Each structure stands twice: as C-alpha cells, then as structure tokens.
Chain A
C-alpha cells in the first residue's frame, strides 16, 4: 500500500478574537515555476538561494509604461535608474527597449558608457560628482543635473578653465503636499533659491540650461503629488523663458512610482492601494498639456522610473534550513537567505509563497534568515503551510534595490539568473567565492601566515 503524504502534526488554540483560517477550501497559493521554469530545477542547477530575473516581465513592464505615457503625451523619454538595479544584463534590456541611463555616481556613469549608452543620453544626478567626473560628463555632452551651489560654482569654474559647454538642468525641490519633503536635494522652489540658481547659470558664459528636474520622493502613493510637481515645473519653465528668453527643452519628473509591494505598517496590501501607472500618467500629462505651452514648444517629459519597472521581475528562491519553536510557542522557520541578500525586507512585508504543494493547513510563522544576528528577520509573521527542512520558498517582487544594496555579510552573495524571452536561463552574476572576496584584500607581510 502506498503511504500517505506526511504533514507534521499541529494543534492551534482557537482564539476568541481572531480567526486563523477561513474554512477548509481556502487554498494556499503555490508558485512552482518562474516563467515556466521549475523552481526546483533552477535551484538544482544554480544552487540556493538564487535570484531570478524575468526578462519577459521587464519588457512587459517597460512597454506598458511607455505605451501608457506615449498615448497621452507626444514626447516621452525613460531613463533607467542605475541604482535600482545596475546588473549590466538588466540595464541592457532597458537600453534595448529605448531607455537612456540615469546615474548618481562616477562608477555608474562609467558603467552606462561601457554599456554603450551615448554620453548625450546619460543623465548625471546626485550630490556627489568629482571635478574629473564633471569634466568628463561635460565633454561627453551628458545632461548634468546640478544639486547645490557648490557644484554650480565648481562647474562654472571648470567650464572656463577647460573650455567646456556643459548641458545642465536644475534639480528642484518643492512642497507637493507630501511628507517627508525631499528638500535636501537640489534648489528650493518656494523660497526662490531655484531662481538664484537659474540666474547664475544663465549669466554664465558656458553653461547651457536645457532642463528642469525634480524627484519628489520615493514609493509615492498619491498620484496628485505629481500633478502639483508638474504644475510647479511648468510654471518655472514658463517663467524662465519669459524672463531669460530661453526654451527649457525638458522636464524630468524623476522617479518615485511605487511597486505593488506592501510597505511595513500599512494596513492594506500594496496590490490594493498602489496607484496604477495610468493614474500617474494622467496626473502628470494632464497638467503639462493643459498648461498652455504651444504644441511645438511642449517640453520633452523624462521619467526616471526604476522600482515600478523592475520589482516584480525579480524573485528570490530559497530553501528551508530548519523549523524551530520559539519560547513563546510561536513557530519559526529558518531560511538560507537573510536580510544581507534581501535588503528590502527591512521595508516591505514581502509576498512569500511555497514552491511545492502542501496540505491545506497553515501556520503563522516567523521567517528568519541564516545570520547569527537577531535582526535577521524576513517576515515577522506570515501564514504558510507546514514546511519541512529542504522545502523551497519563492519571495516575490525583489527586483529593485536588492541587487544593489545587498551586503556581503556572513554569507556570500548568491548566483543571479536571467530567464530570457524564451525562458532560457542565463547566469548573469556568479555567486561570490572566498577568492573573489579576498582578491581585494592585502595582508601586510608581518601578519602573513608565512611570516
């Protein structure tokens, strides 16, 4: 006789307040494959844990966002936000789709150039640009977004010294009714700082003011804030051309569109509350189109959308190391990946699904990572079927910021696989090794083991 499927025995107290399950028909969502490729096969081939990126999903996201904006507004350009995910394979999917590059450091700038992006299609943002980087970006005809007066005066000086004609934009910060105000970047709109900057640029011999840039915040849940931002940007652009007689070629509304992840502490899940790209597009384009620009003078609209285009294309696969009962009776599960790899678990209650069919019973579980550190918690509380050692889980929507903000701490960073449009896996970043880690270390002679 064939034996029955085993599930570990559990007993749950029926709480007088809350109810734990909803009838016996409620089905646990199981995700056994990513774009048709089995989770088990991927892990067998590439090890566990494993990041998986779906090229198909990136292209779907990009094409959707692009269509949504371009059907509403005639001149739209996306610039891929390198810091969100700067794996070259990922960047190049975006560049193939038509994205420019948006970078915030010297090494990101070099990366974009090496990926074949023409200098004139690189936007150089951020408060940290060295003299050499400014000179280089000017010579490459890149778009330099000026963040503060020290940078502005440096660039003016460099342009005189080295006979440069840099194309620049002013980073503007403003009150759009949301909190916190990102007033640490760029020049303030309300107090007139931005005017001082504009005047200084336009009175300089060499700087060419071509655009205005703002970035009102991150994970924005209100599309209306973008309408306010767009309106202030239009007004500023209008006033500048009135006063100085120059045409502002583009308005860069930055990034900040959320993915459908659920922020910690929010009552409703992200899938319910996050505005759609359409809502953001409506808010922004309605304002610009209705502002009163002549058709031929409509500014190019640049968007630096990162997270919303990549988050749901990334998955983290992992394996159960152990189950453990905590002293207060709660059940916990230790996974083979922790907050060192999944940095975003500090911000989100990530969706986690089992990769194999299980029973109908579920249990509230704390999901821990493998680190010897108390803060290594992936989910404080998640309802999962009864897992056993060796079972696998899929963490969803991890494409943004993890593969750039992850830490090499206690464990080494795992493999990253890209599933191409035919779902063929390609290793796009190798798991780190001890040799890799130590290749940049230098042990002084007197501390060497051969001493």
Chain B
C-alpha cells in the first residue's frame, strides 16, 4: 500500500490527483502524514513520528490512521 506516485501535494494542504482530475484538501496533521507517506515511511514509523510531536495515545492514532487510509483508498489515491 503506497501513495500513487503522480499525486501532487502542496504545502497548503491541497492534493491533486492528475489521473482523475479530483482535488482534495487536508488538515495540517493529514498533510504531514501524507508527506511522510510520500517519503515511503512505514505506518509504524509514521505513528512514532506523530506520537512524538502530538499529544495523542498510540491506540487512538492507530485507529484514526486506519480511518484516514481507508479514506485515501476510497478516494482512489493509493496503489496496492
């Protein structure tokens, strides 16, 4: 599971899928996760990075990440 290579992300939280023409916006933490994801960081690494920076329990983050990834999948932004 990885981010599609051609997906464009911007600093302002916009995401553009040139394959479909769809645009998306994300909150700060979402953009951050996407950028880690683009750097091919593993889910485990992402969890550690976010937990170090934000006041969040690992379990909750894990649940929220799963939901976030399922949204990315629904929006057709991932390749298996």
Give the distance in Å from the alpha carbon of A385 to the alpha carbon of B27 in the complex: 12
Known contacts: A325-B70, A329-B71, A388-B60. The answer to whether A10 contacts B55 by CB under 8 A is: no
Task: Return chain A residues, CB-CB under 8 Å to B75.
Answer: 11, 13
| Secondary structure call for the B interface | helix
Task: Return chain B residues, CB-CB under 8 Å to A325.
Answer: 67, 70-71
B27 touches A9 (CB 8 A): yes
B11 CB to closest chain A CB (Å) equals 14
Give the distance in Å from the alpha carbon of A13 to the alpha carbon of B70 in the complex: 14
A4 touches B55 (CB 8 A): yes
Q: Tell me whether A160 is interfacial, beta carbon within 8 Å.
A: no
Determine which residue in B15, B53, B56 has the highest number of CB atoms from chain A within 10 A of its CB, and name it.
B56
Q: Tell me whether A449 is interfacial, beta carbon within 8 Å.
A: no
**Which positions 1-39 of chain B face chain A at CB distance < 8 Å?**
14-15, 22-30, 32-33
Q: Tell me whether B79 is interfacial, beta carbon within 8 Å.
A: no
B54 touches A3 (CB 8 A): yes
Known contacts: A8-B29, A9-B30. The answer to whether A329 contacts B53 by CB under 8 A is: no
B71 touches A11 (CB 8 A): yes
A6 touches B23 (CB 8 A): no
Q: Using a Cβ–Cβ cut-off of 8 Å, how many residues does chain A contribute to the interface with B?
A: 20
Give the distance in Å from the alpha carbon of A389 to the alpha carbon of B60 in the complex: 9
Who on chain A is nearest to B66 by CB?
Answer: A325
Q: Tell me whether B64 is interfacial, beta carbon within 8 Å.
A: yes
Known contacts: A5-B55, A6-B54. The answer to whether A11 contacts B60 by CB under 8 A is: no
Among B15, B28, B32, B56, the residue within 8 A (CB) of A11 is B15
| Secondary structure call for the A interface | loop
Interface string of B38-72 (1 = CB under 8 A from A): 00000000000000111110001100110110111
B24 touches A13 (CB 8 A): yes
B53 touches A3 (CB 8 A): yes
Interface string of A373-398 (1 = CB under 8 A from B): 00000000000001011000000000
B34 CB to closest chain A CB (Å) equals 8
Q: Tell me whether B74 is interfacial, beta carbon within 8 Å.
A: yes
Known contacts: A325-B70, A329-B71. The answer to whether A10 contacts B30 by CB under 8 A is: yes
Task: Return chain A residues, CB-CB under 8 Å to B72.
Answer: 11
A11 touches B24 (CB 8 A): yes
Interface string of A1-45 (1 = CB under 8 A from B): 001111111111110000000000000000000000000000000
Who on chain A is nearest to B22 by CB?
Answer: A13
B3 CB to closest chain A CB (Å) equals 12
A9 touches B55 (CB 8 A): no
A11 touches B23 (CB 8 A): no
Known contacts: A9-B26, A10-B68, A388-B60. The answer to whether A3 contacts B55 by CB under 8 A is: yes
B24 touches A14 (CB 8 A): yes
Q: Tell me whether A177 is interfacial, beta carbon within 8 Å.
A: no
A11 touches B55 (CB 8 A): no
A424 CB to closest chain B CB (Å) equals 35
Known contacts: A329-B71, A359-B27. The answer to whether A9 contacts B65 by CB under 8 A is: yes
Task: Return chain A residues, CB-CB under 8 Å to B56.
Answer: 3, 6
Task: Return chain A residues, CB-CB under 8 Å to B25.
Answer: 11-12, 14
Task: Return chain A residues, CB-CB under 8 Å to B33.
Answer: 9
Among A6, A8, A14, A329, the residue within 8 A (CB) of B68 is A8
B49 CB to closest chain A CB (Å) equals 12
Task: Return chain A residues, CB-CB under 8 Å to B32.
Answer: 9
Task: Return chain A residues, CB-CB under 8 Å to B67.
Answer: 8, 323, 325
Who on chain B is nearest to A8 by CB?
Answer: B64
Task: Return chain B residues, CB-CB under 8 Å to A7.
Answer: 27-29
Q: Tell me whether A361 is interfacial, beta carbon within 8 Å.
A: yes
A361 touches B27 (CB 8 A): yes
Determine which residue in A5, A10, A325 has the highest number of CB atoms from chain B within 10 A of its CB, and name it.
A10
Task: Return chain A residues, CB-CB under 8 Å to B26.
Answer: 9-12
Give the distance in Å from the alpha carbon of A361 to the alpha carbon of B25 in the complex: 11
A361 CB to closest chain B CB (Å) equals 4
**Which A residues lie at the B interface, using CB under 8 A?**
3-14, 323, 325, 329, 359, 361, 386, 388-389
A to B CB contacts below 8 Å, 22 in the list: A3-B52, A4-B53, A5-B55, A6-B29, A6-B55, A6-B61, A7-B27, A7-B28, A8-B64, A9-B64, A9-B65, A10-B27, A11-B25, A11-B71, A11-B75, A12-B25, A13-B24, A14-B24, A325-B67, A359-B27, A386-B27, A388-B60
Counting from the closest, the 7 A-B pairs by CB-CB distance are A9-B30, A6-B56, A3-B55, A8-B64, A6-B54, A14-B23, A361-B27
**Which B residues lie at the A interface, using CB under 8 A?**
14-15, 22-30, 32-33, 52-56, 60-61, 64-65, 67-68, 70-72, 74-75
Q: A4-B54, A8-B67, A9-B68 are in contact. List 12 more A-B contacts (CB 8 A).
A: A3-B53, A4-B53, A7-B27, A8-B68, A9-B27, A9-B64, A10-B30, A10-B68, A10-B71, A11-B30, A325-B70, A329-B74
